[in-house]
Structure 1
Amino acid sequence: MVQYNFKKITVVPPGKDFIDIILSRTQRQTPTVVHKGYAISRIRQFYMRKDHYKLALGQINTARNIIAKISKDYLRLLKYGDSLYRCKCLKVAALGRMCTVVKRISPSLAYLEQIRQHMARLPSIDPNTRTVLICGYPNVGKSSFMNKVTRADVDVQPYAFTTKSLFVGHTDYKYLRYQVIDTPGILDRPFEDRNIIEMCSITALAHLRAAVLFFLDISGSCGYSIAQQAALFHSIKSLFMNKPLVIVCNKTDLQPLEGLSEDDMKLVMEMKAEAMKTITQAVGPNEEGVLLTMSTLTDDGVMAVKNAACERLLEQRVDVKMKSKKMMDCLNRFHVAVPKPRDNKERPVCIPPAVLEARANAAAKEKKKLEKDIENENGGAGVYSASLKKHYILANDEWKEDILPEILDGHNVADFLDPDILVRCEELEREEGLRLEEQAAEDAFQIDGHELTQEQKEILAQIRKKKALLIQEHRMKKRTAESRPIVPRKFDKDRKFTTNRMGRQLSSMGVDPIAAINRARSQSRGRKRERSVSRAAADGDGMEIDGQQSNKKLRRTSRSRSRSRAPEEVIPGEGFKDSEQKKKAIKKAKASTRNRNKDARRGEADRVIPTLKPKHLFSGKRTLGKTSRR
């Protein structure tokens, strides 16, 4: 049985995502592995009456064929590739042509994604299950009836066209599940003048096998007269052919059916006659339950309408199955055996005596009293509260309901309880905390077993306090978004880390900062150009003009320093004895990379994965002997 579930249609990716999928799956392997490429396959076909939808699917099918042809052509070229580098170039060319084809169909892919989203918003209607369809003019009570008989929650408002699409609910009748569909209201006008909302109802009436409930507002509170509603019934009655039909006169709380005028009653009777013709074609002559009355406000007749529609639909489905050839083939396989009397002796129904005795014993046996029975005997819920302690296992059952034993082992328990026990516990905890702090302070002021002076203890305390603050600030930065790499001091715009600041901090702690400041300043380096000038002046090669060296001489010196050396020239510290030994090493290094370069590998990490299962080891029949070589 075909199941239509539009919500399970997979997302249609745009052209850019298709290209990313192709390239990512192709490059996931090593660069030397040759692939056929990615082909779009198994596109799900849907039948719709939109030419744009068919054109989009046609373009995708054409793109798939083009990509398959590109793959076939380049595979033929890959067979004659003389090196892996040539094969890689062919692979790149093939992927480029495939990506160009996919880019051209990007608008079609975007359109198909819009169609998928639109179809996902449609309700999941099963065209083969038992279905009850509700139709009629707007604001006649269709959605109210839907909410009464199903678990659906359709919006109900006192104006027309509140329902703008199909709503699906489910109800049960005789242990069978029925699908109830609420359709938007239909107006009596030409077919070409109806809008999309009305066409939803027309399409459902035309294509679904269902029992139809035509709602009729006999009170006129919907804004349309009975004559207009009757005209609509006669204009769409061709859609009711071969379907169980029930005319439902709604809002009888405002206007009973017996109180209608003669003209309106005549119109209703004519609709009933037309419904009888439709029912005769569907399930045979049956006048009962063709015209029903109800009120969704007072729930009068609501269940009768639902039962009548479900019963008529069930009769029609059973009748269709009984008339089919498949049913006759099944009946020919059954044989019902009916026993025939062998003599004239009467054999009445007999119950064995043992069964009667067991039944009597079971009735005489007292029924076990449950907690619910005890609750009902003592006033019911809210009056009687079940005891949770009655099943406690104690030495004495009298102890079960005790809140706290007063006498234990001959002593009064209350004599051993201090009324200020909580206050005393807090005092003990506070005293223990003070002792722990004193012990920690004593341990903190002792370094390597040597006692410090009072002044050193104060300085050490300040240092540790500062360290604790820095640690706390660092942890707070890690928890927030301020966790960033360390900024070099040359980018320290706020001047947080300076020698002056360090000197002030050391002076406040009673330490002479001169040695630390001089050490920090001595580590700073001069500018590169100044060093080069001073070095040239020391060599005596530079010609000074007014205390400065000539720029021409500086440029000449820098060019001489950057002059390239011969590859075989030995530089001190390289580990070679002479230039001959370095030549041999260079020659061996080139020989080791020759095969790698021929395979078009970028480095040692770009390795070749061989065939893990060679055919000559994993094909053919297995003979006697060991198989460890496999």
Structure 2
Amino acid sequence: MVQCNFKAITVVPSGKEMIDIILSRTQRQTPTVVHKGSRKQTIRHFYMHKVKVTGENFKDKLFTIIDQFPRLEAIHPFYSDLLHVLYNKDHYKLALAQVNKARNQISKIATDYIRLLKYGDSLYRCKCLKVAALGRMCTVIKGIGPSLAYLEQVRQHMARLPSIDPNMRTILICGYPNVGKSSFVNKITRADVDVQPYAFTTKSLFVGHTDYNCLRYQVIDTPGILDRPFEDRNIIEMCSITALAHLRSAVLFFLDVSGSCGYSIAQQAALFHSIKSLFLNKPLMIVCNKIDLQPMHALSEEDKRLVDEMKAEAHKTLSIGGDQNGEQQVLLTMSTLTDEGVMDVRNTACERILDHRVEIKMKSKKINDHLNRFHVAVPKSRDAKDRPIYIPQQVLEQWAKAQEGEQEKAKRKLEKEMENENGGAGVYSASLKKHYILASDEWKEDIIPEIIDGHNVADFMDPDILERAKELEREEGMVLAGDVGDESEIDGDMMPEEREALNAIRKRKKALIQEHRIKKSTAESRPVVPRKFDKDWQFTTERMGCQLSGLGLDPSKAIERVRSRSVSRRGRKRERSVAADGTGVDSMEIDNEREGNNKKLRLRSVLRSRSRSRAPIEEVVPGEGFKDKEQKVKAIKLGKKSVKKRNKHARKGEADRVILNMMPKHLFSGKRGIGKTSRR
């Protein structure tokens, strides 16, 4: 059978979306401009190409839809019946048939209009034929719009179906609603089926996987089934019936012995007898759930009789199916609330599946072809000697050492236990040095010395550092107490006037130190006045005179010099020359008369009067490497010319090799006509 992956089916677009997709693709794949003055053959080929590409695109899209949806005759009967239950296979086939018919119609339309375009006698006639062809194709697609919408709904629902492998080892769970089927699946698999205290919580098939003896098993949880005629069952119940009818699996029929599901044991037994024909040729087990609420020994006689009848029917099913081992257990008990017997039920079901699969293969026709390939060698005794088991002494010693190592590991205290004993996480800090391999265990916690330029830290330490530190502390105490021997010796050799001056200096020094300490301690909180507004720091002659006077110097000459400099900086006024008649004449007027009010000459005189701070660029400076002025000017021009292109490309320098995206995709992809720039 063909294995179908429903999740791989692509999205089915609606009719309008498909038209937009195909026409846009045709516009990209074909030329967009043809001129009126072109040859007739060129015009015909242009529009024939348009029609042909459009028809092929429509056919490819529709063929993809038809090909990806599964054919009900080619897939497993389980999936075929399941799709019929969910979607009605008549509607499903009709929708696919309409899509296939539309594909054939579009192919015929494209062929007919290509034949007509071969005889187009003008640009206008060819264009009209092309428009008619594309219009008819779009009309066909619009006609199958409902079918495409139906197929898209089917695709979405099929993608949500569970991935069930019909050929895999399977455990199928069935029974009345709310008897504990989903709870059992959640216990033995990694599935997360919704469990609620009301009926029909599970509305579709759910699949989980479990491992037993290194083999993978799939467990299928089916919706609940009610005891009523086949015609009255709804889609939810028919999903369970389909799985029971077509999947080769071990069936677990769940029986709620407590009656808390809302159905009595008699009703559940009636359901068992009504669907027992679906259990033929399959391993069947009856699972009595919720024994924590109602133990088996506390059942009434009538209920026990019904359970025994079901057990007998299960044994009869085994004998019909070919399993001659009547002693196999078919009645199991468990409780999903207390986990009592849950794993026993799973293990028994898995073993029954393996046994059943082996029996089927042994009864198949191919068994004779395979048996001759196997040979089981059975050793025969050569004599009557007793040959006991011999184990070498070395192996026994190694085994004894391994046992001792395991005992030591068991006795060894774990880091987690030590952490709990010493305050827990955040308090206990594991030592990373305790596993160091050293000559003495006492060295493990020693501080590792640092090495600087090939020398150990101990090489830079003075062995008498402690005694020297004590001496420094004693001297510091004597200085703080004011009892310093050197100062007393100096004071003894001084005159009384010198001693007074020295005391004054020391007193002033202590005051300055104290003042500096106070300023330093309050530096962060003390406001700072800018020098612009600080009158004490203004650069005035009065401030300079006070400072010089404080130093014992005469400030008069310095102040006079500063004032003379300030006067000279202001600029001197033009001196007035005296004429012969005694009247004053300005020198500027004389210049104007001499030069005749010539503006160029006046501008030249102004330029000459300005001072130049540096030589012009054209002049050759020794050391630049230029022969003369002309060579330097030429080099400067060439340098500016070479930089112009680099600046135009926004390069950082000569080594900038960054290649920017000169053709952004949103501006250059696709084709557009005149004026169609709205997509930007």
What band does the TM-score fall into relative to the shorter chain? 0.5 to 0.7
Q: Does the 8 A contact of 2:207 with 2:221 survive in 1?
A: yes
- In the alignment, structure 1 residue 299 sits paired with structure 2 residue 343: no
Partner amino acid, structure 1, of 2:316: K
**For residue 20 of structure 2, what is the aligned residue in structure 1?**
20
Q: Distance in 2 between matches of 1:308 and 1:426?
A: 87
Identify which range, 48-57 or 131-140, moves more after superposition. 48-57
Offset, 1:250: 1.2
Q: 1:386 aligns with which of 430, 433, 444?
A: 430
Q: 2:204 aligns with which of 158, 165, 170?
A: 165
* Secondary structure in structure 2 of the residue aligned to 1:13: coil
Q: Following superposition of structure 1 onto structure 2, how do residues 61-72 of structure 1 map, counting pairs within 5 Å? A: 61-72=100-111
- In the alignment, structure 1 residue 196 sits paired with structure 2 residue 235: yes
Partner amino acid, structure 2, of 1:63: A
TM-aligned CA distance change 1:6 to 1:360, over 3 Å = closer
TM-aligned CA distance change 1:125 to 1:389, over 3 Å = same
TM-aligned CA distance change 1:350 to 1:234, over 3 Å = same
**For residue 596 of structure 1, what is the aligned residue in structure 2?**
none
Q: Does the 8 A contact of 2:14 with 2:148 survive in 1?
A: yes
Q: Which runs of 5+ in 1 are unaligned?
A: 416-422, 436-601, 604-630
Offset, 1:137: 1.5
Q: Distance in 2 between matches of 1:68 and 1:426?
A: 95
Q: Following superposition of structure 1 onto structure 2, how do residues 136-215 of structure 1 map, counting pairs within 5 Å? A: 136-215=175-254
Partner amino acid, structure 2, of 1:203: T
Q: 1:41 aligns with which of 32, 39, 63?
A: 63
TM-aligned CA distance change 1:424 to 1:72, over 3 Å = farther
Q: Does the 8 A contact of 2:248 with 2:282 survive in 1?
A: yes
Q: Distance in 1 between matches of 2:155 and 2:115?
A: 38
TM-aligned CA distance change 1:427 to 1:3, over 3 Å = farther
**For residue 614 of structure 1, what is the aligned residue in structure 2?**
none
**For residue 221 of structure 1, what is the aligned residue in structure 2?**
260
Q: Distance in 1 between matches of 2:242 and 2:335?
A: 28
Q: Distance in 2 between matches of 1:386 and 1:210?
A: 55
Q: Distance in 1 between matches of 2:374 and 2:129?
A: 69
Q: Distance in 2 between matches of 1:342 and 1:161?
A: 69
TM-aligned CA distance change 1:264 to 1:347, over 3 Å = closer
Offset, 1:390: 6.8
- In the alignment, structure 1 residue 290 sits paired with structure 2 residue 330: yes
TM-aligned CA distance change 1:142 to 1:424, over 3 Å = farther
TM-aligned CA distance change 1:269 to 1:339, over 3 Å = closer
TM-aligned CA distance change 1:249 to 1:397, over 3 Å = closer
- In the alignment, structure 1 residue 261 sits paired with structure 2 residue 300: yes
**For residue 418 of structure 1, what is the aligned residue in structure 2?**
none
**For residue 5 of structure 2, what is the aligned residue in structure 1?**
5
Partner amino acid, structure 2, of 1:288: Q
Over the matched positions of the two proteins, sequence identity in percent amounts to: 68
Q: Does the 8 A contact of 2:4 with 2:70 survive in 1?
A: no
Q: Does the 8 A contact of 1:167 with 1:181 survive in 2?
A: yes
Q: Distance in 1 between matches of 2:400 and 2:174?
A: 61
Q: Does the 8 A contact of 1:170 with 1:178 survive in 2?
A: yes
TM-aligned CA distance change 1:294 to 1:377, over 3 Å = closer
TM-aligned CA distance change 1:246 to 1:425, over 3 Å = farther
**For residue 399 of structure 1, what is the aligned residue in structure 2?**
447
Q: Does the 8 A contact of 1:241 with 1:278 survive in 2?
A: yes
Offset, 1:123: 2.1
- In the alignment, structure 1 residue 318 sits paired with structure 2 residue 358: yes
- In the alignment, structure 1 residue 107 sits paired with structure 2 residue 151: no
Q: Distance in 1 between matches of 2:158 and 2:119?
A: 48
Offset, 1:132: 1.0
Aligned length: 423
TM-aligned CA distance change 1:88 to 1:270, over 3 Å = same
Identify which range, 110-119 or 158-167, moves more after superposition. 158-167
TM-aligned CA distance change 1:400 to 1:306, over 3 Å = same
So what's the TM-score if we normalise by structure 2? 0.54
TM-aligned CA distance change 1:357 to 1:222, over 3 Å = closer
Q: Distance in 1 between matches of 2:330 and 2:522?
A: 85
**For residue 280 of structure 2, what is the aligned residue in structure 1?**
241
Q: Does the 8 A contact of 1:392 with 1:400 survive in 2?
A: no
Q: Following superposition of structure 1 onto structure 2, how do residues 555-574 of structure 1 map, counting pairs within 5 Å? A: none
Q: Distance in 2 between matches of 1:425 and 1:286?
A: 101
Q: Distance in 1 between matches of 2:396 and 2:171?
A: 53
Partner amino acid, structure 2, of 1:140: V
- In the alignment, structure 1 residue 118 sits paired with structure 2 residue 162: no
Higher relative contact order at CA 8 Å, sep ≥6: structure 1 or structure 2?
1
Q: Distance in 2 between matches of 1:96 and 1:105?
A: 15
Offset, 1:360: 7.9
Partner amino acid, structure 1, of 2:330: V
Offset, 1:236: 1.0
Offset, 1:271: 0.5
CA RMSD after TM alignment? 4.4
Q: Deviations over 1:12-51 (max 9, x none)?
A: 1001111112111111032345444221214123424322
Offset, 1:140: 1.6
TM-aligned CA distance change 1:73 to 1:326, over 3 Å = farther
* Secondary structure in structure 2 of the residue aligned to 1:143: helix
Offset, 1:193: 2.2
Q: Which runs of 5+ in 2 are unaligned?
A: 33-45, 73-82, 423-427, 438-442, 451-456, 473-518, 532-672, 675-680
Partner amino acid, structure 2, of 1:5: N
Q: Distance in 1 between matches of 2:122 and 2:171?
A: 70
TM-aligned CA distance change 1:425 to 1:133, over 3 Å = farther
Partner amino acid, structure 1, of 2:70: Q
Q: Deviations over 1:56-112 (max 9, x none)?
A: 111111001111112222344455567888766544433222111111111111111
**For residue 309 of structure 2, what is the aligned residue in structure 1?**
270
Q: Does the 8 A contact of 2:289 with 2:334 survive in 1?
A: yes
Offset, 1:386: 2.1
Offset, 1:183: 1.6
Q: Distance in 1 between matches of 2:266 and 2:10?
A: 48
Q: 1:128 aligns with which of 167, 175, 181?
A: 167
Q: Following superposition of structure 1 onto structure 2, how do residues 410-559 of structure 1 map, counting pairs within 5 Å? A: none
So what's the TM-score if we normalise by structure 1? 0.58
Offset, 1:169: 1.3
Q: Distance in 2 between matches of 1:96 and 1:356?
A: 89
Q: Distance in 1 between matches of 2:116 and 2:520?
A: 94
TM-aligned CA distance change 1:277 to 1:360, over 3 Å = closer
TM-aligned CA distance change 1:118 to 1:397, over 3 Å = closer
Offset, 1:248: 0.9
TM-aligned CA distance change 1:356 to 1:74, over 3 Å = same
Q: Does the 8 A contact of 2:315 with 2:330 survive in 1?
A: yes
Offset, 1:351: 5.9
* Secondary structure in structure 1 of the residue aligned to 2:446: helix
**For residue 493 of structure 1, what is the aligned residue in structure 2?**
none
